[in-house]
Amino acid sequence: GAVVSQHPSRVICKSGTSVKIECRSLDFQATTMFWYRQFPKQSLMLMATSNEGSKATYEQGVEKDKFLINHASLTLSTLTVTSAHPEDSSFYICSARAGRGREQYFGPGTRLTVT
Amino acid sequence: TQLLEQSPQFLSIQEGENLTVYCNSSSVFSSLQWYRQEPGEGPVLLVTVVTGGEVKKLKRLTFQFGDARKDSSLHITAAQTGDTGLYLCAGLVDYGQNFVFGPGTRLSVLP
């Protein structure tokens, strides 16, 4: 299967600071990347969808000014959590796919803890 | 309301037992995927089914897509402790943009 990486795997930051998470497709070109959030013992919650070179589409209830998504190339998307608060602490997972209707491959996730 | 329902929500069984988990919807899917997620990791794709009535086998796992492409099941034979995890189904509605995920079935296989 295709490989998607995320960096960092864990990050601890102070309240009010910003954190950037990277998602890379290592062996394929990802026309679309997705960002999910997952709370303990719950399923994935889609935050936003980004297509390379265009603005991200955010799901209802997700603040686009707080969760900045950039999909600058076919192999890299970034999620920046701005002015982080403790309630932003969560497991953030990205996925990528090569084309419409194709399989999605997930990254290993990033555990964010805001103190 | 969830577009995709999964049942049971939780399942705890002994090693060696068989089990079936279900993924149901009132919507028709052009494609459906099953994933397994272990704690602290991202979901791993197990299988994709696209044809109504399709059956796929992956070692001890058997996946079936309903004839009407609205539901799917995952059967595990002789479960092992390594099968423990969160099983997620995800459906693509009418060749749409995004897969929609179900809430998951959390499986614990006890030694």
Query: What pLDDT, in 10s, does the model give residues B23-46?
Result: 999 999 988 999 999 988 999 999
- My answer on whether omega of the bond before A8 falls inside 30° of 0, hence cis, is yes
Across A93-97, B10-14, B89-93, least confident range: B89-93
Q: Which amino acid is at A37?
A: R
pLDDT exceeds cutoff 90 at B60: yes
- Tokens of residue A52, six digits: 């390379």
In B, which residues are within 8 Å of A108 by CB distance?
Answer: 41-42
Distance from CA of A92 to the nearest CA of B (A): 9
Average pLDDT over residues B70-76: 97
B43 and A4 in contact by Cβ < 8 A? no
Give the pLDDT of residue A108. 95
The Cβ of residue B96 has, within 10 Å, a number of other Cβ atoms equal to 14
Across A38-42, B78-82, B93-97, least confident range: B93-97
Which is higher by pLDDT, B3 or B34?
A: B34
Mutate to test the interface with B, among A34, A43, A97 (most CBs of B within 10 A): A43
Residue of B nearest to A2 (CA): B45
Structural contact between residues A50 and A115, judged by C-beta atoms closer than 8 angstroms: no
Is B5 in a helix, a strand, or coil?
Answer: strand
pLDDT exceeds cutoff 60 at B1: no
Distance from CA of B41 to the nearest CA of A (A): 5
